[in-house]
Structure 1
Amino acid sequence: MSTVLASAPAAPVAPPPRDRRFSLPILLLVIAGGLVALAAVRAITGANDLTSHGAVRAALQSAVPIGLAGLGGLWAERAGVVNIGLEGQMIFGTWFGAWAGFHWGPWAGVLAAVAGGALGGLLHALATVTFGVDHIISGVAITILAGGATRYLSQLAFQGLPGGGVTQSPPVPELPRLSVPGASVLDRVERAHWFLASDLAGILRGALTDVSTLTIVAALLVPLTFWVLWRTAFGLRLRSVGENPHAAESLGVNVYRYKYYGVVISGALAGLGGAFLSMVASSIYRESQTGGRGYIGLAAMIFGNWRPGGLASGALLFGYTDALQLRGGSQSVHALLLFLAFVLAAVGLWQVLRGRRTVGAVAIGAAVLVGLWYATTDAIPAEFVQAAPHITTLVVLALASQRLRMPAADGQRYRRGG
């Protein structure tokens, strides 16, 4: 019997799962194809605001606070803690940024906003990590607490000051803005409305001129987060806590400490996003200024599959559609229907070539329907224009849901030795 078993062929070993992330050449090809399609849509429809420097600048301004909130959610969830309280931590950031910025200057405001958001993160960590409170309940409670606390603090700090009151602060000094020397020459190329060349000029001009220093800081935080979490021992320990805290504990990792690190850093990043709203986007603190951006940041994080690069892409997508509905209105959003038809057709053909004929046929059919919608209408309802950013977020999350993988221990209650 032992001879028979020894001579029996070994059972086939399943191949390791393929990495579904795009390689750099394919990613660059997709970006180039998207730019060409957007330029074609701009040339066909005459909606020049699709790639104008003003739209790009407005998109960045809308995307930065969402991206910072999403980065905050990434740090917390990689440590195994769901941070629904990002919205409240952003509220703390808006208030403390405006308060300190008014009294001691803009950079003091930035530091105070980070500290205020980190305080909110510390409260969330205390509730969830130490006392084992449900993560969702704690996050919602912190958001409610932030709204009430900032209203009370405004009565003490802003009421009676010129331009201040219970619901807003006095004007706050702006942070410096920077421009790349020579980038203004792109204006002439953009105004010529040449195919692709003018579109690239508009995008580069919007990204390289009159850029807030806080926007640059936010952009640098994306690769920094990737490097820290995926290239350092600290990041490995923090991610292990979110994947399997008991295994990490058996290797000598202080699970409680690293969960606190992740959640406090999460709150600090959300507070920085709040500082952007009150010190860059509007130069004043107003009640309810965050407008749900903390929750949208979580959606961007999920779209990005809990990774910094994908998160930044989701934030830019939402920021772009939001900027178009604010600047270009119905014409620009209507033109996006044609762009969406192109994208769906390309996705459908790609799926057919990969052998997924059913999915490809559905995508191509959707492309035809969207194209007919564009061809048979001159405008779209105003309500749809205003909801376009939110609809875009929902559609993208629905399309991306099949490839998502959250940290294995995300949201689970942990007790040492349990």
Structure 2
Amino acid sequence: MSQATTVGAPQQEDNRARHRWRVLSLVAAGFVALSAVRIVTGQHTITSPGTIQAMLAFAVPIGLAGLGGLWAERSGVINIGLEGMMVFGTWFGAFAAWTSGNPWVGLAAGILGGMLGGLIHAVATVGFGVDHIVSGVAINILSVGAMRYLSVLYFVEAPGGGAGQSPQLPEFPTVGAPFVAGALGGLAERNWFLLSDAAGVVIGLTTGMSAITLVALLLLPVTYYLLWHSRFGLRLRSAGENPDAAESLGVNVYAYKYVALLTSGGLAGMGGVFLAMVASSVYQEGQTGGRGYIGLAAMIFGNWRPGGLAMGAGLFGFTDALQVRGQGGAVHALLLLLAVVLVAVAARQWSRGNRTAAVVSLAVAGALTVVYTVTDTVPEELVIASPYITTLLVLSLASQRLRPPAAIGRAWRRRAS
């Protein structure tokens, strides 16, 4: 046993190193392609500091929802109810911040509200063995009706409030390094290949950042450490891979699933607070706009890992930022970028012997190139739908390399002793 462990550890470390190298190479190649598309199309706002700041603002709630899904599904529980848990977070966070006048009180209440949703999901799926999808859908339906009732009860009579809206909410403080903009601002405006793009990204990521955004970014390495480099994380992941074996080794599988779902709900609730108090300054009914589902898609795209999840959330946030900022020309330029990506996908599929997939990817890339050539912009409806189209495309491209936890979705029951 010890010899196998001694032999296997270097191999696992080597596999992790190769995986990190592939991820870094992919990010670098994507950045080069994006810069090249910006130069060719003349859409210099694609990597401007303003676009990067908007991307971060849209990516954070998606990433938090995705992190919530990651915790739940690594323990073996499918969490379709992320959307509803975000709704709980938006309302409870807004109510606590409004009554106390303190945004941090609102953040704590929003996290607790999301944890309430996670607890409901845990009791239903872990305690009573209810189907995970049914429980999640029920939470999404329950959250909308319950928060509507509470809004009518508390917000209607408040100044500036209503049946579907809260009064004005206090803001979180901002953090950043404003001297970076002064040092790199001139370089970002020169529109040079790669250099200006890098300057725009650095300025966007270090200027005018909400404090809750910084907390959300720090949660990525914290999650990675806890789940992959601690005894607690090993036991939690074992509950999602082989709960019978974990139970036989003394792991309390029920307890770890409960902890995972409470954490999942808390993270989703934090994403809801971000939507109500950072992305906006009031709670509004329907504020989540499906971001819980997109967060779940980002988690699947990331193959149930924090690094891939961050890439997926950034991608979805980027397309969302472009459409909200009204940059139809930039979305039009992304058609060319998508064509380049599909050519790369076709080459990879061909090298693996998947001739049909390669031909289909090339055909779609050719069609996108033609559309880009014969048009100057894209319809406004397509611009608005671009984040959701991106979700479908990314999931279809990533589907062949996915490896979910082995026991995910299983209604596990402890064996009678």
The two structures have a TM-score, normalised by structure 2, of 0.92
Shift in Å, 1:369: 2.3
Counterparts of 1:100-119 in structure 2 under 5 Å? 100-104=96-100, 105-119=102-116
Shift in Å, 1:124: 0.8
Aligned twin of 2:241: 243
Mapped partners of 1:330, 1:210: distance in 2: 25
Mapped partners of 1:380, 1:325: distance in 2: 11
Provide, for residues 158-203 of structure 1, a one-character-per-residue CA deviation record: whole Å limited to 9, x for no partner.
2221111211111111101112141122222222222222211111
Unpaired stretches in structure 1, ≥5 consecutive residues: 1-15
Shift in Å, 1:306: 0.9
Two-structure CA RMSD over aligned residues (Å): 1.9
Secondary structure, in 3 states, of the residue corresponding to 2:412?
Answer: coil
Counterparts of 1:172-321 in structure 2 under 5 Å? 172-185=169-182, 186-321=184-319
Mapped partners of 1:32, 1:129: distance in 2: 42
Mapped partners of 1:87, 1:354: distance in 2: 38
Aligned twin of 1:25: 21
- CA gap of 1:22–1:377, structure 2 versus 1, over 3 A, is farther
Shift in Å, 1:356: 5.0
Aligned twin of 1:35: 31
Amino acid at match of 1:145: L
Q: Which moved more, 1:149-158 or 1:363-372?
A: 363-372
Shift in Å, 1:75: 0.7
Provide, for residues 355-411 of structure 1, a one-character-per-residue CA deviation record: whole Å limited to 9, x for no partner.
555544443333222212211111222221111111111011011111111111111
Unpaired stretches in structure 2, ≥5 consecutive residues: 1-10
Mapped partners of 1:23, 1:415: distance in 2: 35
Shift in Å, 1:19: 5.5
Q: Which moved more, 1:111-120 or 1:158-167?
A: 158-167
Aligned twin of 1:85: 81
Shift in Å, 1:40: 1.5
Secondary structure, in 3 states, of the residue corresponding to 1:281?
Answer: coil
- CA gap of 1:320–1:137, structure 2 versus 1, over 3 A, is same
Aligned twin of 1:326: 324
Mapped partners of 2:339, 2:88: distance in 1: 41
Q: Which moved more, 1:337-346 or 1:64-73?
A: 337-346
- CA gap of 1:211–1:125, structure 2 versus 1, over 3 A, is same
- Aligned match for 1:399, one of 393, 397, 400: 397
Aligned twin of 2:155: 158
Q: Which moved more, 1:169-178 or 1:28-37?
A: 28-37
- CA gap of 1:199–1:409, structure 2 versus 1, over 3 A, is same
Amino acid at match of 1:148: G
Q: In 2, are the aligned partners of 1:87 and 1:294 still within 8 Å (CA)?
A: yes
Q: In 2, are the aligned partners of 1:78 and 1:238 still within 8 Å (CA)?
A: yes
Mapped partners of 2:63, 2:176: distance in 1: 22
- CA gap of 1:365–1:279, structure 2 versus 1, over 3 A, is same
Aligned twin of 1:414: 412
Mapped partners of 1:408, 1:144: distance in 2: 29
Aligned twin of 2:145: 148
Secondary structure, in 3 states, of the residue corresponding to 1:23?
Answer: helix
Provide, for residues 295-346 of structure 1, a one-character-per-residue CA deviation record: whole Å limited to 9, x for no partner.
1111111111111111111111111011111214321111001111222223
Amino acid at match of 1:111: A
Shift in Å, 1:54: 1.0
- CA gap of 1:134–1:159, structure 2 versus 1, over 3 A, is same
Amino acid at match of 1:277: L
Mapped partners of 2:221, 2:19: distance in 1: 17
Amino acid at match of 1:78: R
Aligned: 1:130 with 2:130: no
Alignment coverage as a number of residue pairs: 403
- Aligned match for 2:118, one of 96, 117, 121: 121
Mapped partners of 1:23, 1:127: distance in 2: 37
- CA gap of 1:391–1:20, structure 2 versus 1, over 3 A, is farther
The two structures have a TM-score, normalised by structure 1, of 0.92
Mapped partners of 1:389, 1:22: distance in 2: 30
Mapped partners of 1:304, 1:336: distance in 2: 21
Q: What percent of counterpart residues are identical?
A: 59
Provide, for residues 30-77 of structure 1, a one-character-per-residue CA deviation record: whole Å limited to 9, x for no partner.
322222221121112111211111111111111111110111011111
Amino acid at match of 1:62: F
Mapped partners of 1:364, 1:88: distance in 2: 39
Mapped partners of 2:354, 2:244: distance in 1: 40
Shift in Å, 1:354: 5.3
Larger Rg computed on CA atoms: 1
Counterparts of 1:91-102 in structure 2 under 5 Å? 91-102=87-98
Mapped partners of 2:390, 2:17: distance in 1: 22
